[in-house]
Amino acid sequence: MAGKRNVFEEAMKKASSYAWEKQWRKAIVEYEQALAEFPDDLTALVSLGMAYLESRQLEEALSAYKKASQLTPDDPLAWERVADVQERLGRLNEAAETYVAMANIYAERKALNQAIENWLRAIRLAPDHLVAHLSLAEAYAKQGKARAAVEEHLTLARILQKRGQAEKAIQQCRLALELDPHSAQARATLEALRAGKKVEKVKPAPLPPDIEAREAEKIEEEMEKEEEGSPIDTARQKALMELAEILFEEHPVEDAVTDVTTFVEGHRARETAPKMTHGQIDAILGHAIDFQTRGAIDKAIANYSRLVEAGVDRPAIHFSLGLLLQEKMQIDAAIRELSLTTRHPEYGLASHFALGECYRAQGKIEDALEHFIQVLKIIDLQTVQRDQADDLIQLYDGLAESYTAKADRDKVITFLDSLVDFLSGKGWQDRVMEARRRLDSVAGEGVTRGLVEIMEVPGSEEILASMAMSQEYIKRNMMPTAIEEIYRAIGMAPTYLPLHLRLAEVFMRQERFEEAIAKYMVVAEVYRMRGDDGQAIGVYKRVLKMSPMDVNVRTRMIDLLVNRGEIDQAMEQYMSLANDYYHLAQIDQALEKYHEALNLASRASNGRTWKVQILHKIGDINIQRVDWRGATAAYEEIKALSPDDEKVRTHLFDLYQKQGQTNKALTELKEMVKHYEAKGQPQKALGVLKDAVQLRPQEMSLKALLARAYAQQGMTSEAITELDALGEMQLEAGLIDEAVQTIKQIIALKPANVEAYRQLLEHIHR
């Protein structure tokens, strides 16, 4: 619905004024007011992003700029704002991908210099970015800059060697020598590769002068930025800051306190807890913070414990105490405190992580698994779009149970080790976003992949890099090379099904459809056996794009959709399946599927609509089969569900007539006429009657109804014609009394030859 233009313009005017005065918070309020009226206004979004940026709200700025760039996806300047904020946030891999996307836009516009500038920016942030280096090599070669192209090929050789792809590294050296046969560095690199020696890093090409200073400044800022460790480290600092702020809170009355802030529902101070004044609480809290920051763990624990015993119920206190107890290996006490903060938005992620570590230390692997899966779930839900969240929740909800059912303790331990390693150390958030980007790039249509795949696949980073490389080969139509890359990755991770899906995709592009379908079906079956119905459904959809009339595939997909409770999608597939059978002239199977769908329709979100649609199909098929009773039953059911369905009443009138149920047919026709008249549509009522008389010209009751309708609409001449024909039919049939009544109706209409009708009436009486 369109917003109010005057409200929008007034808000934008105020926002511009505040922005000019650098009152960014007030400007943000007005920009948001403007966007509430017109959410997709580009100027308002960009301005809001700038206001957030100036007020150091980087996440919000990124969100605004991303939305603006999505409205103008072909505008590289819009994406430049996104990349800038990503760099400020330290999301260097994301920023690199954004720069590559910008470069590709410039390349498509034949603006090669701008494209090169952005590929260079990408590799400054992600030095081993294969796609950026490959694109630079091609761009420099096109420009005739052989030396720069050679450097890029040699850099690719080094990266590929590091990834264990020596043969491909050698191929890059050969490409370099083709560009410059006299390159000593290329020959030295080639000899080193053949000898199995480590290739030295190639000095990167310099940035254009106009961006050198800016890039250097950004790199310096990044180096100075403090790196984060694990999710616990971030939350620990947050807790200390929150507790420090408590010390500055003003307390109007120095009353005894037993409950500062109730956080966990039902968790209250003990009745026997020693009461403290706010001053006493602040003093103890100050000591606790001081001891914690100085590493005096025992004293910090003692002070935090005094606060908890007094009923001071702050989540930051429970969390900090829990971490300290964990550090002193007082695991049961740590679990007790950390369990109180799992539902708090600021500490939930870190609390689950710490609890997982506690239970792992106790050897309680199943309990540890449950908490670590919650960690992965919380993180993963922050990386996906809203429409993917339900699929992701369903994936993680059954994950712990799936591992437990396999009863493979060693595999669970390996999984936990991989997860802790992935989320620990510097840059874990960047790793998460990079993993999400790669997972999305290999996911099929309608399929949401979880970060759990990274934990489950040995050498996952190399596998995903190989997937990205194969995708690049496919884009460049280098299908044999893509297949070679995929098979190499399958050799490392034969059970990683996305690799097999990628292989099927290549087969399809090569028009090797039978091989592609066979591969897809094997993968779908494995997903189904693993209980991953969502992935199996996604694969079946791919098969149906190639072979839409494959009823076996559609049947399997319906079963999975019903099992997942996705009834509306199952209904759509049922309709397609029945339609396939119909086009294959397998009418009985088509009817069977329509009836199965009818039984399922009551579970759909709009059951009545589905039932009406299905019953129409059943009725039409039965009419074609001359099964009048079956068709009648279907249309009678539709009439009960949808009384205003005009098509149904017409069908029922005709079907009743064909079965010799004249009274029912006449009743149906009368109801139809009344329906149209009640809706103020007399012409439709007249049309229905005329059609009925045309179909059944010898049916006297129909002629009587038509004559009545003509008379009601003032069409006297037409009414007399119908009554005259009706009277003759009645006389011929020996229905004298009925004929007399018909002639009287004609006389009442005062035709021009009324005297003749009076004489006829007198003659009949004699």
Cα separation, 132 vs 103, in Å, equals 9
Grade residue 178 by pLDDT with cuts at 50, 70 and 90: confident
Question: In this structure, what are the phi and psi dihedrals at residue 508, rounded to the nearest 5 degrees?
Answer: -65, -45
Say what the pLDDT of residue 232 is.
85
Are 235 and 350 contacting, i.e. CB atoms less than 8 angstroms apart?
A: yes
Same domain, 443 and 353: no
The answer to whether residue 526 sits within a structural domain is no
Are 173 and 150 contacting, i.e. CB atoms less than 8 angstroms apart?
A: no
Are 561 and 569 contacting, i.e. CB atoms less than 8 angstroms apart?
A: yes
Q: Which residue has the higher pLDDT, 289 or 78?
A: 289
DSSP string, 450-494: -THHHHHSTTHHHHHHHHHHHHHHHHTT-HHHHHHHHHHHHHH-T
Choose the final residue of a domain: 434, 456, 478: 456
Q: Which residue has the higher pLDDT, 731 or 326?
A: 326
The burial of 21, by beta-carbon neighbours within 10 Å (0-12 exposed, 13-18 middle, 19 or more buried), is given as exposed
Give tens-digit pLDDT for 261-286: 333 333 444 444 456 777 788 888 88
- Mean predicted lDDT score pLDDT of the chain: 79
Choose the final residue of a domain: 325, 341, 362: 362
Are 442 and 464 contacting, i.e. CB atoms less than 8 angstroms apart?
A: yes
Q: Is pLDDT of 389 > 80?
A: no
The answer to whether residue 617 sits within a structural domain is no
3-class DSSP state for residue 551? helix
Cα separation, 766 vs 760, in Å, equals 10
Cα separation, 708 vs 455, in Å, equals 80
Q: What is the mean pLDDT of residues 329-342?
A: 91
Same domain, 150 and 251: no
Q: Is pLDDT of 717 > 50?
A: yes
Q: Is pLDDT of 212 > 50?
A: no
Same domain, 69 and 205: yes
The burial of 250, by beta-carbon neighbours within 10 Å (0-12 exposed, 13-18 middle, 19 or more buried), is given as exposed
**Token reading at 114:** 């701008």
The answer to whether residue 587 sits within a structural domain is no
Domain range holding 245?
A: 231-266+273-362
Same domain, 206 and 66: yes
Grade residue 732 by pLDDT with cuts at 50, 70 and 90: confident
The answer to whether residue 332 sits within a structural domain is yes
Say what the pLDDT of residue 221 is.
43
Q: Is pLDDT of 508 > 80?
A: yes
Please name which of 160, 116, 163 lies closest in space to residue 140, comparing C-alpha atoms: 116
Q: Which residue has the higher pLDDT, 632 or 465?
A: 632
Q: Is pLDDT of 185 > 70?
A: yes
Grade residue 459 by pLDDT with cuts at 50, 70 and 90: low
Grade residue 340 by pLDDT with cuts at 50, 70 and 90: very high
Grade residue 529 by pLDDT with cuts at 50, 70 and 90: confident
Alpha helix stretches (DSSP H) within 195-343:
209-224, 231-246, 278-293, 297-309, 315-327, 331-338
Same domain, 116 and 196: yes
Say what the pLDDT of residue 648 is.
82
How many CB atoms within 10 Å of residue 122? Answer: 27
Grade residue 449 by pLDDT with cuts at 50, 70 and 90: low
Enclosing H/E stretch for 393: helix 389-397
277 beta partners: 256
Same domain, 290 and 386: no
The answer to whether residue 176 sits within a structural domain is yes
Same domain, 206 and 325: no
Same domain, 332 and 189: no
Please name which of 313, 228, 238 lies closest in space to residue 270, comparing C-alpha atoms: 313
Give tens-digit pLDDT for 366-380: 888 888 888 888 887
Give tens-digit pLDDT for 200-211: 665 544 445 544
Helices and strands counted in the chain (H then E): 41, 2
Say what the pLDDT of residue 248 is.
60
Say what the pLDDT of residue 581 is.
86
Q: What is the mean pLDDT of residues 669-697?
A: 74
Q: Which residue has the higher pLDDT, 70 or 406?
A: 70
Alpha helix stretches (DSSP H) within 126-250:
130-142, 146-162, 166-179, 184-194, 209-224, 231-246
Residue 199 neighbours by CB under 8 Å, 6+ apart = 154, 157, 158, 161, 169, 189, 192, 193
Q: In CATH, what number is assigned to the domain containing residue 304?
A: 1.25.40
**Token reading at 502:** 């990628």
Say what the pLDDT of residue 1 is.
43
Grade residue 324 by pLDDT with cuts at 50, 70 and 90: very high
Same domain, 333 and 370: no
Choose the final residue of a domain: 362, 390, 424: 362
Q: Is pLDDT of 574 > 80?
A: yes
Give tens-digit pLDDT for 583-622: 888 888 888 888 888 888 888 888 888 888 888 888 888 8
Give tens-digit pLDDT for 104-147: 888 887 778 888 888 898 888 888 888 899 889 888 888 888 88
Same domain, 346 and 248: yes
Cα separation, 63 vs 31, in Å, equals 14
The answer to whether residue 251 sits within a structural domain is yes
Q: At CA 125, angle to CA 451 and CA 62, rounded to 5?
A: 65
pTM here?
0.50
Say what the pLDDT of residue 734 is.
84
The burial of 280, by beta-carbon neighbours within 10 Å (0-12 exposed, 13-18 middle, 19 or more buried), is given as middle
Q: In CATH, what number is assigned to the domain containing residue 126?
A: 1.25.40.10
Same domain, 396 and 441: yes
Q: Please give the tally of structural domains in the chain.
A: 3
The answer to whether residue 404 sits within a structural domain is yes
Say what the pLDDT of residue 215 is.
43
Q: Is pLDDT of 411 > 80?
A: no
Say what the pLDDT of residue 263 is.
35
Same domain, 188 and 103: yes
Say what the pLDDT of residue 220 is.
41
Say what the pLDDT of residue 246 is.
76
The answer to whether residue 139 sits within a structural domain is yes
Grade residue 335 by pLDDT with cuts at 50, 70 and 90: very high
